Amino acid sequence: GELKKWTGQTTPVFSTISSSEKYEPTLLGSIPFMGEAEALDAVEAASAAYNNGQGLWPTMKVVDRIKCMEDFVGQMKTTRTEVVKLLMWEIGKSLGDSEKEFDRTVEYIYDTIESYKELNARSAHFSKVQGINAMVRRGPLGVVLCLGPYNYPLNETFSLLIPALIMGNPVIFKPAKHGVLLISPLLEAFRSSFPKGAINIVYGRGREVASPIMKSGKVDILALIGNSKSAIALQDQHPNKNRLRLVLGLEAKNPAIILPDADLDLAIQECIAGSLSFNGQRCTALKILYVHESIADEFNKRFAAKVDALTFGNPWDKSVFLTPLPEKDKPCYIQELIDDATSKGAKVINAKGGEQTENYIFPAVLFPINKDMRVYHEEQFGPVVPIISFNDIQEPLNDMAESNYGQQVSLFGKDIKTIAPLIDTLVNLVCRVNLNSSCQRGPDVFPFTGRKDSAVGTLSIHDALRSFSIRTFVASKDN
Ligand code: G3H
């Protein structure tokens, strides 16, 4: 919609990476400076577009809504080069991963359109029970507030926004603090593809823009991928929490369990990718490794050497694995975790662990970890890898059972007689067991969810359409 109250002030956006040898962030652009007035404007526009389910967007025919979405994704594809560049400059994501994020998002939109068509084709069928015919449909729920994370500012955000929109819900969308400019190339596509008020973008800090939106009581679904502290704070601000539906992707502390008969080369390779790709800034990253004591010495020595061999540099350099960190306070936080663990008996077992530059801290491999250490409990979301050795498999299983999180696990081993019963136990502790491979969200058609504090609702392409809609039906008796 139009920005009726925007004052014209802007907030500058600086890069994560530096173009010169000396670390100097570059001014990349600016975003509108917004506060409560603009946030409430967005609420008004979204509520008017919904109009208690009678608005243009929620009542639009399925074919027309699909046309809007196809029009959007068609235009989006033309922005690839610019968005990929911004992903690299704003959040330091490698060229390959930035391209993957863009392409995966485009595919996500096309798959969502297909899934939406199937959903509507199925809804058209009548079923007859006890003489009553019922035609089941799925309809929109109302206004959605959508907040995405900085690590996947496109893919994760769109995995909330696209299903919410296609089901007929108007959306208010606040991009993450880092990865905010890359929405700019898409603004014209949003504006020209969807009717007024269907999509409303707000910029700014959570407490300045998201809080007034929640306090207005006009949000029907809170869709957030990020941390539970923000999710709880936002929920609590809604005057009628009982009416609020939640779709949340939150913290995780995914473990890897390496059994005595594991293929060590494979386990090490997967644990490096799992714990340190995008510097460990993934909710699905491996955040603690449990290695059987009989192989711990060997595993630790080889794992530490491989970590030290990882290269650091700018994201467009294809030989580089580690890249600068967008959060300025992250090196300091990671150093705190290292200091805390080493003061309680752990060692940094790789030579380069903890080496710092202005915008980076080299991954530290910490061993042995115990429950008194912060890094055992906290989701580090950065370059530090804690390792625990175990004697009895019940030790990691008990830790997982006690944990507040329950997203995924990686299990490395060969003997099927050991693995099979273990899988039966693990699936009741987490939602995805990865055999001899690291944890990951994709492919995006797979269910993405978690137990306990890790998630509320499920975000596969199929499930997300259901998370953002409600079942309604028409019942008619045989005459
Ligand atoms: O931050 C969590 C992301 O969903 C991780 O996705 O496993 O594809 O990197 P990914």
Q: What is the ipTM of this complex?
A: 0.92
282 Cβ below 6 A of ligand 1: yes
Distance CA 133, CA 392 (A): 57
Q: Residues 154, 101: contact at Cβ < 8 Å?
A: yes
- Asked if omega into 443 is within 30° of 0 (cis), the reply is yes
What pLDDT digit, counting tens, does each position of 136-167 carry?
A: 889 999 999 999 999 999 999 999 999 999 99
34 Cβ below 6 A of ligand 1: no
- In the numeric block, which tokens belong to residue 111? 């798959």
- For residue 463, how far is its CA from the centre of ligand 1 (angstroms)? 17
Instruction: From 227, 254, 284, give the residue whose CB has the most ligand 1 atoms within 8 Å, as the site to mutate.
Output: 284
Atom of ligand 1 nearest to the CA of 149: 1
CA 349 from centre of chain: 30
Closest C-alpha to ligand 1, atom 2: 283
Q: Give the pLDDT of residue 352.
A: 98
173 Cβ below 6 A of ligand 1: no
- In the numeric block, which tokens belong to residue 234? 């936002």
- For residue 337, how far is its CA from the centre of ligand 1 (angstroms)? 23
DSSP 52-109: GGTSHHHHS-HHHHHHHHHHHHHHHHTTHHHHHHHHHHHH---HHHHHHHHHHHHHHH
Atom of ligand 1 nearest to the CA of 277: 9
- For residue 127, how far is its CA from the centre of ligand 1 (angstroms)? 39
Could you give phi then psi for residue 31, rounded to 5 degrees?
Answer: -125, 155
Q: Residues 213, 202: contact at Cβ < 8 Å?
A: yes
Q: Give the pLDDT of residue 21.
A: 65
Distance CA 424, CA 457 (A): 22
Q: Tokens 């992903």, residue?
A: 87
The least confident of 125-139, 235-249, 250-264, 384-398 is 125-139
Closest C-alpha to ligand 1, atom 6: 441
pTM for this structure?
0.95
245 Cβ below 6 A of ligand 1: no
Q: Which residues have CB under 8 Å from 175's CB, separation 6+?
A: 148, 153, 157, 183, 201, 203
Q: Is 236 exposed, middle or buried (0-12, 13-18, 19+ CB in 10 A)?
A: exposed
pLDDT > 90: percent of the chain: 87
